Structure 1
Amino acid sequence: MADIHAQSSKNKRVLIVDDVPRNIDLLKGILIEKYQVQIAKSGKVALDIIERALPDIILLDIMMPDMNGFEVCERLKAHPKTADIPVIFLTAMTDSQHEQRGFNLGCVDFITKPITPLTTLSRVATHLKLAEDNLANKRTIEDRTRELDDALHSAIGMLGEVGQFNDTDTGVHMWRMADYGAALAKKIGWEASQVALLKLAAPLHDTGKVGIPDSILKSPNKLTEDEWEIMRQHTVIGYQILIKSDAPLFKLAAEVALGHHERWDGSGYPLGLSGEDIPLSARIVALADVFDALTMERSYKRSWTIEESFEHIKKGAGSHFDPDLVECFLSIEEDLRAIKTQWDAVS
């Protein structure tokens, strides 16, 4: 079995794009035993190589003369032939602004310099596996994306159905959670049109789970670190699916999908944003999502009372959650109880 896996990985082609010889030598030395490695010392050369033969994954330096990594990535993602090739940026910069730009352009991850063998091999293996898993779902994802553009409300329902294939509670959860989020948005003064938009966008927060293997989503065991790394990618996958539409609903849904696992203190993912750098929509949905998960009965846990859930949320104010939003959320207890009662009657 090990020989089969080794042979399979050896058939994978990794393109390294960097203008610094020592970086190229280091990366090649790390990867050459497991993968076929190609080298490009500039963005233009990389595009020429890719035009002739598609690599399975690209390690792309950001800071290069003539054409930087962002420009190369933008060109790749603009063409259907190359849009699905995973791009991992190589960078010495760690600020969230650069990471946000990279994700906006369609990259899947960052490797921060100085480069280490363990991180490099782990990231490359993870994203090659994700690419393989996603290939089988590509037609489904493309169908869902077209439906999002053609029929907004029905598409939301259909994506909810996709979620229910993996979790029988997901359908009720996504709409009930959306009601909680809408109640909070109304409380903090959002206009009715904004509240309505969030109510439609919130159920799409976990759209990216369509790209996560069932073996991880349904695992009865504690996930390994590698499995968690794959699971965390559902935020980026969801963002990249939803951002393809120019409709305001899906722009908002993409924002929520990417940011709903960020934490107020910066310890969340995928970008490690903190405080008000986290979009308000994502902060609202994060709070509503946790509240609903706590108060929902599952096969492995009892449902928490609203009082118990409030205590948990209070403890997370200023670390997990926006403390001002927590205060507002606790003040609408009557509304939250009414929403829960309404949904309990139909679930």
Structure 2
Amino acid sequence: MLNNRILCVDDEPNVLNGLRRQLRKNFDVSTAVSGMEALELMAHQGPFPVVISDYNMPTMDGVEFLAQVKQRFPDTVSIMLTGRSELDIAVAALHQGNIFRFLNKPADPELLQQSILDAMEHYRLVNAERELTAELQSANSKLAELNQNLETKVTERTATLRRLYRFVSKLNSLDSQQQVAVLTVNTAASMLNCAEVSLWSHEPDIQQLRMQASTSTGLAKQLNIPVENSALGHIFSRNEIFITDLSSPDLESTTWDKDIVNDLPALYVPLATQSKASGILVISASAKGGYDHEDISIAHALAHSTAIALSNHQHREERDETQDAVIMALAKLSESKDLETGGHLLRLKAYCRLLCEALQLFPGYRSIITPGFIKDIERSSPLHDIGKVGIPDHILKKPGKHTPEEFELMKTHATIGGDTLKSVLDQCKYQGFIKTGMEIAYGHHERWDGSGYPIGLKGLEIPLSARILALADVFDALTSKRAYKPAFSFEQTRRIIIDGRGSHFDPDLVDAFLFKEQEFIETALQLAEISE
């Protein structure tokens, strides 16, 4: 509501009464007979939008009074009335009291009325400007706060996306489903600040959920829970994100479920790539006591990425199993023409792994001997003698010493095997183990000093995979019993390999063998009885 109060100050009561009668129709008029009385009135009954003061008053004149008004009540608009028209008074009043209008007594009624209305409008504009400024400052403050919150949200979201990106990148570098499960539960626990996270895979053949990984030390490894008659199984069957404290009437909680989740509520997120779930992620013991939309989004992203990674690993493992079966069938085909047993192939795989593990500790090999390299050489090692299928049986199975002509023909098995795998590699360029197998088939009879066959490669010209298998093959040939020779002792074999250092074998491989010698002996003894 518009404040139309005015305060008239004059030391003559008759003047004040006249002003009151003149102005009371349009304004709420208060009066004071001195500057001190007027200041008291303004302090206790204000605010007054307009003050009209006489100049010539005892104790405190109009200029001094209005200066005090300006200092104490800066919004009040001042008008001065005086019977004196000296210029110096007007100037002093305007400069010291910031007078809005200076009128001579007696003032024309219309001029006085208009002056008061103008003063009222000025008061309104000043206050409106202040209110608008305050509102603008408040709006700017809120906007700054919103911007800060938005920047914080963007920063937090960016950090979350970076962590999810790193998570997915790590997923792609893992070698097994078990490693995927462990990475997932640890990442979920860290990103969601939850103490208990477990990952369960669905075993459709037995209709159970099997725990693959958990951050809780209280859960038994390889714990299985039936899909039926358990809250976990019921939630898994729903194939949707679910938050519960297990008190829902349609959930029959069992001791298994209570063991899984100790701190409710719990967040259940299916591991689904499309419509079918392959498992479930269980998250509980949240530090903040619950899960908001952001938590659920993060959990869903983790679960979806994990489901894809697990599916890819499953397909890869199934493919690898099929390929390994074909490899072993081909390898046994060549072995069946030779006098060696099937145990030879298993021992070779083990010896190659031992040499790789030792080389990983040597400077210069850590970036070369990767998990993929070890896997490829293990898978392809049985193919080293696949070329023997092209050697006539009467030469291949001859119990005695070969003639020079027979030995030359015998040596062609390396080229036959390498060429065979090369033709396969031309059709399957992205199969690393085929390339490794080709290198091994061609090069496992090459020698470090260049005296080997079929090409006569020397030193580092020989692929590392072939150099590894060469030593492993000789160790097994020497320590295994054959129809044409007894098994050499481990000590005899050791001396022969050391004697071949720098001539037959890569010196680093001999050092690796000596580093793992005891494990070579243990493997040889464990697999000695394996045969077809």
Per the normalisation by structure 2, the TM-score is 0.36
Question: Quick check: 1:186–1:192 contact (8 Å CA) kept in 2?
Answer: no
The residue matched to 1:243 in structure 2 has which SS? helix
Question: Quick check: 2:331–2:385 contact (8 Å CA) kept in 1?
Answer: no
Percent of aligned pairs with the same residue?
44
Matching residue within 200, 203, 217 for 2:396: 217
Matching residue within 327, 334, 349 for 1:156: 327
Matching residue within 193, 196, 200 for 2:372: 193
What does residue 321 of structure 1 align with?
Answer: 505
List per-residue Cα deviations over 1:81-119 (Å, max 9, x = no partner).
xxxxxxxxxxxxxxxxxxxxxxxxxxxxxxxxxxxxxxx
What does residue 38 of structure 1 align with?
Answer: none
CA shift in 2, pair 1:319/1:158, >3 Å: same
List per-residue Cα deviations over 1:49-105 (Å, max 9, x = no partner).
xxxxxxxxxxxxxxxxxxxxxxxxxxxxxxxxxxxxxxxxxxxxxxxxxxxxxxxxx
Question: Quick check: 1:163–1:170 contact (8 Å CA) kept in 2?
Answer: no
CA shift in 2, pair 1:221/1:336, >3 Å: closer
Question: Quick check: 2:445–2:454 contact (8 Å CA) kept in 1?
Answer: yes
- Which structure's residues are more often strand, by fraction? 2
Matching residue within 465, 474, 481 for 1:281: 465
- Tell me, in whole angstroms, the C-alpha distance in 2 between the residues paired with 1:188 and 1:150: 27
- Which structure's residues are more often helix, by fraction? 1
* Paired amino acid for 2:460: E
Deviation at 1:302, TM superposition (A): 1.7
Question: Quick check: 1:207–1:257 contact (8 Å CA) kept in 2?
Answer: yes
Deviation at 1:345, TM superposition (A): 4.5
CA shift in 2, pair 1:345/1:170, >3 Å: closer
* Paired amino acid for 1:340: A
Deviation at 1:185, TM superposition (A): 1.1
CA shift in 2, pair 1:154/1:222, >3 Å: same
Question: Quick check: 2:343–2:529 contact (8 Å CA) kept in 1?
Answer: no
What does residue 177 of structure 1 align with?
Answer: 348
* Paired amino acid for 1:249: F
Residue 266 in 1 paired to residue 450 in 2? yes
Tell me which moved more, 270-279 or 185-194: 185-194
- Tell me, in whole angstroms, the C-alpha distance in 1 between the residues paired with 2:438 and 2:495: 30
Tell me which moved more, 266-275 or 165-174: 165-174
What does residue 411 of structure 2 align with?
Answer: 232
What does residue 382 of structure 2 align with?
Answer: 203
What does residue 176 of structure 2 align with?
Answer: none
Question: Quick check: 1:160–1:170 contact (8 Å CA) kept in 2?
Answer: no
List per-residue Cα deviations over 1:245-266 (Å, max 9, x = no partner).
2221111100100000000110
Deviation at 1:323, TM superposition (A): 1.0
What does residue 101 of structure 1 align with?
Answer: none
Question: Quick check: 2:399–2:483 contact (8 Å CA) kept in 1?
Answer: no
- Tell me, in whole angstroms, the C-alpha distance in 2 between the residues paired with 1:281 and 1:219: 29
Question: Which residues in structure 2 correspond to 1:108-127 (within 5 Å)?
Answer: none
- Tell me, in whole angstroms, the C-alpha distance in 2 between the residues paired with 1:215 and 1:165: 14
Matching residue within 286, 293, 300 for 2:484: 300
The residue matched to 2:401 in structure 1 has which SS? coil
- Tell me, in whole angstroms, the C-alpha distance in 2 between the residues paired with 1:320 and 1:326: 10
* Structure 1: runs of 5+ lacking an equivalent: 1-147
- Tell me, in whole angstroms, the C-alpha distance in 1 between the residues paired with 2:468 and 2:382: 13
* Paired amino acid for 1:215: H
* Paired amino acid for 2:472: A
Deviation at 1:296, TM superposition (A): 0.3
Matching residue within 323, 332, 344 for 2:516: 332
CA shift in 2, pair 1:212/1:203, >3 Å: same
What does residue 65 of structure 1 align with?
Answer: none
CA shift in 2, pair 1:154/1:331, >3 Å: same
Question: Quick check: 2:339–2:482 contact (8 Å CA) kept in 1?
Answer: no
Deviation at 1:150, TM superposition (A): 10
- Tell me, in whole angstroms, the C-alpha distance in 1 between the residues paired with 2:397 and 2:528: 25
Question: Quick check: 1:163–1:171 contact (8 Å CA) kept in 2?
Answer: no
What does residue 344 of structure 1 align with?
Answer: 528
Number of residue pairs the alignment of both structures matches: 200
- Tell me, in whole angstroms, the C-alpha distance in 1 between the residues paired with 2:383 and 2:321: 16
What does residue 252 of structure 1 align with?
Answer: 436
Residue 243 in 1 paired to residue 390 in 2? no
List per-residue Cα deviations over 1:281-325 (Å, max 9, x = no partner).
000000000000000012222211212101110001011001111
Question: Quick check: 2:385–2:413 contact (8 Å CA) kept in 1?
Answer: yes
Deviation at 1:269, TM superposition (A): 0.5
Deviation at 1:179, TM superposition (A): 1.0
* Paired amino acid for 2:407: W
CA shift in 2, pair 1:150/1:212, >3 Å: farther
Q: Find the structure with the greater CA-based Rg.
A: 2
The residue matched to 1:286 in structure 2 has which SS? helix
What does residue 55 of structure 2 align with?
Answer: none
